[in-house]
Amino acid sequence: MKTWLLVIALQIGSFASGGEPKPTCCVTNGAVANTGRLGFGSPQAFTDKSLYQLDSVWNSADGTNLKLAELKGKPQVVTMFFARCELACPVLVHDVKRIEAALPADLRGKVGFVLVSFDSERDTPEVLRGYRERQELNAATWTLLQGRPDDVLELGALLGIKFKKDSQGQFAHSNVITVLNPAGEIVYQLNGLNLEVTPAISAIQKTLN
Amino acid sequence: MGIGLALTTVIGRGAGLGVVAPPSGMALVPSGRYEPLFRGEKDPKEVTVEAFLLDVAPVSNADYLEFVKANPKWRRSEVKRLFADENYLKSWADDLDFGAANRTNAPVVHVSWFAAKAYCAWKGKRLPTTAEWEYAAAASPRRADGGKDTQFKQQILAWYAQPSVSNLPPVASRTPNYFGVHDLHGLVWEWVADFNTAMVTGDARGDTGLERKLFCGSGSEGTNDRENYPAYMRYAFRSSLKAAYTVHNLGFRGAKDL
């Protein structure tokens, strides 16, 4: 919460000082732009269906803050999960790893993988960092994110993912892997577990042609 | 003004200290219990709904016009497809014209979840949760627990059996319920904040953590109220929605914490 206020304060501060607003973070993936502004950012920079129009700010496993727009510029494979999940998420994350492993050599490193947690409360950047290590996810290509509950709900709504917290703090959720093109538009979704990954690979390839 | 607001907050939270009049256009829905129609294996049978404020009527075309005047990015020609599909405000004549005068007080429809959320935020409100909405909607005109009111249940069923009319009547034109809230049944469907927590999907086996037996043939076995068909319909309707969808009989109203 305090981090949030700080981010907002920084943004307002940079406006008030009359200077160019500073980016609020340092994770760039080579494509910063449209950060450090209040409101809708610079919507004209995005296509009408781009998820990168969202203004929400997320905490990454690296301990930095970022907007989804910073993922712009390469295809991203986006999945929602939570670290304590014992049922579906291990399979779901394994499915994403299968996609990564099945990428043709010329696509390696050109595709990003994003895991967004349902569990705003428990999946702090530290927890996500631990998860990334346990799962042996490459920090250069995998982005793990924690967000505010409202923002998680909104992203879930955009990805068509249904989820619900139960009284034990676990989450029931649908299992969806989404491929975003470099502009942040949904181009392909895998609904379910243990599915054939070839169509996802083709979808990723198409976004780069 | 500032003192008045502070007092309202303090008294509103101190149950039994006396009821403060809710803001204009809103009703105070007191704390109560809500039994979810579907629930997870470990979820309790009932959840407590804290007292909250709810708009007494759905948002009207006239209300929504003020919003789009003040927020150009939500005008029909300006809105981004990510946030509202191509039927957004379809029944309006133009960006700042909702058409015939008799639509002034009709509920605004063809609005997406994002649009509804943005309107509420602009008003300093939020969308009600499913639990809040269902709890408020369980009240009949005569009692908070309308489930025991046979006539009320029949009226709701009768509405659900009718196709929606194309010329929607004005909001708040019929008897309010026990809490003073109009039109929770009988006018339009309404967005809730957590519509995407309704877990029935096309292939329910893709969902995890819910009662397994829900997804076998006798689906209603796992629910708490097999006779509450309107609740099934609302549940099914919510689970079929996507956040950018706009529908001719789907509107919304605002809510607020006390």
Residue B212 contacts A where some CB pair is shorter than 8 Å: no
Question: What global pTM score does this model have?
Answer: 0.77
Closest Cβ opposite residue B209 in set A43, A87, A157:
A87
| Whole-angstrom distance, CA of residue B107 vs CA of residue B251 | 7
Q: Which residue of A has its CA nearest to B44?
A: A167
More confident call, A25 vs B71: B71
| Whole-angstrom distance, CA of residue B32 vs CA of residue B138 | 11
Strand segments, DSSP code E, in chain B are 26-29, 32-34, 47-49, 52-55, 189-190, 250-251, 255-257
Return the DSSP state at B218: S
Which residues on B lie below 8 Å from A154 (Cβ)?
Answer: 114, 117, 243
Which residues on B lie below 8 Å from A170 (Cβ)?
Answer: 40, 42, 209
pLDDT given for residue B132 in this prediction: 95
How far is CA B18 from each of CA A53, B14, B139, B158, rounded to the nearest angstrom? 46, 8, 22, 38
Closest Cβ opposite residue B80 in set A48, A161, A174:
A48
Residue B24 contacts A where some CB pair is shorter than 8 Å: no
The burial of A17, by beta-carbon neighbours within 10 Å (0-12 exposed, 13-18 middle, 19 or more buried), is given as exposed
Scan for tokens 């895998």, then name that residue.
A190
- Domain map of chain A by residue range? 1-209
Q: Say if the Cβ atoms of A164 and B73 lie within 8 Å.
A: no
pLDDT given for residue B158 in this prediction: 85
Residue A27 has pLDDT above 60, yes or no: no
Tell me the per-residue pLDDT of B7-28, one tens digit each, with 9 for 90 and over. 333 334 444 445 568 899 999 9
Enclosing domain of residue B58: 2-257
Element of type H or E holding B137: helix B130-137
pLDDT given for residue B24 in this prediction: 93
pLDDT given for residue B39 in this prediction: 61
| Whole-angstrom distance, CA of residue B28 vs CA of residue B136 | 10
pLDDT given for residue B204 in this prediction: 39
| Whole-angstrom distance, CA of residue A64 vs CA of residue A9 | 16
| Whole-angstrom distance, CA of residue A6 vs CA of residue A41 | 18
**Sequence-distant (≥ 6) Cβ neighbours of residue B224 within 8 angstroms:** B35, B36, B37, B39, B45
Tell me the per-residue pLDDT of A67-102, one tens digit each, with 9 for 90 and over. 999 999 999 999 999 999 888 889 999 999 999 999
Q: Are B253 and B64 in contact, with CB atoms under 8 Å apart? A: no
pLDDT given for residue B166 in this prediction: 74
More confident call, B165 vs B99: B99
Q: Which CATH number do you get for residue B99?
A: 3.90.1580
Element of type H or E holding B116: helix B113-122
What is the arithmetic mean of pLDDT over B73-96? 96
The interface residues of chain B toward chain A in range 83-102, judged by CB-CB distance below 8 A, are 83
Residue B107 has pLDDT above 80, yes or no: yes
Q: How many domains does chain B have?
A: 1
What is the arithmetic mean of pLDDT over A143-159? 95
Tell me the per-residue pLDDT of A178-195, one tens digit each, with 9 for 90 and over. 999 999 999 999 998 888
Q: Are A4 and A55 in contact, with CB atoms under 8 Å apart? A: no
Q: What angle do CA B63, B66, B70 make, to 5 degrees?
A: 145
Residue B114 has pLDDT above 90, yes or no: yes
Q: Which pair of tokens denotes residue A163?
A: 């989820």
CA A58, A63, A66, A68 dihedral sign is: negative
pLDDT given for residue B92 in this prediction: 96
Q: Are A150 and A58 in contact, with CB atoms under 8 Å apart? A: no
pLDDT confidence tier of residue A12, bands split at 50, 70 and 90: very low
- Taking alpha carbons only, the member of B26, B94, B97, B19 closest to residue B56 is B26
The burial of B101, by beta-carbon neighbours within 10 Å (0-12 exposed, 13-18 middle, 19 or more buried), is given as exposed
- Taking alpha carbons only, the member of A200, A142, A37, A192 closest to residue B203 is A192
pLDDT given for residue B226 in this prediction: 56
Residue A31 has pLDDT above 90, yes or no: no
pLDDT given for residue B199 in this prediction: 63
How near does any CA of chain A get to the CA of B80, in Å?
A: 5
**What is the average pLDDT value for chain A, to the nearest integer?**
82
Give CA B97 to chain center in angstroms.
25
Q: Say if the Cβ atoms of B82 and A174 lie within 8 Å.
A: no
| Whole-angstrom distance, CA of residue B233 vs CA of residue B230 | 5
Q: A1-209 has which CATH code?
A: 3.40.30.10
Q: Which pair of tokens denotes residue A148?
A: 């505010």
pLDDT given for residue B221 in this prediction: 39
- Taking alpha carbons only, the member of B239, B147, B227, B225 closest to residue B185 is B147
A136: left (phi over 0), alpha (psi -120 to 50) or beta: left
- Taking alpha carbons only, the member of B148, B44, B58, B66 closest to residue B106 is B58
Which residues on A lie below 8 Å from B202 (Cβ)?
Answer: 191
What is the arithmetic mean of pLDDT over B135-159? 88
Closest Cβ opposite residue B209 in set A51, A53, A172:
A172
Scan for tokens 């579907």, then name that residue.
B38
How near does any CA of chain A get to the CA of B242, in Å?
A: 6
B23: left (phi over 0), alpha (psi -120 to 50) or beta: beta
Tell me the per-residue pLDDT of B191-221, one tens digit each, with 9 for 90 and over. 999 988 776 443 334 444 443 333 333 333 3
**What is the average pLDDT value for chain B, to the nearest integer?**
81
The burial of B24, by beta-carbon neighbours within 10 Å (0-12 exposed, 13-18 middle, 19 or more buried), is given as exposed
Q: Are A115 and A60 in contact, with CB atoms under 8 Å apart? A: no
pLDDT given for residue B216 in this prediction: 32
What is the arithmetic mean of pLDDT over B222-251? 79
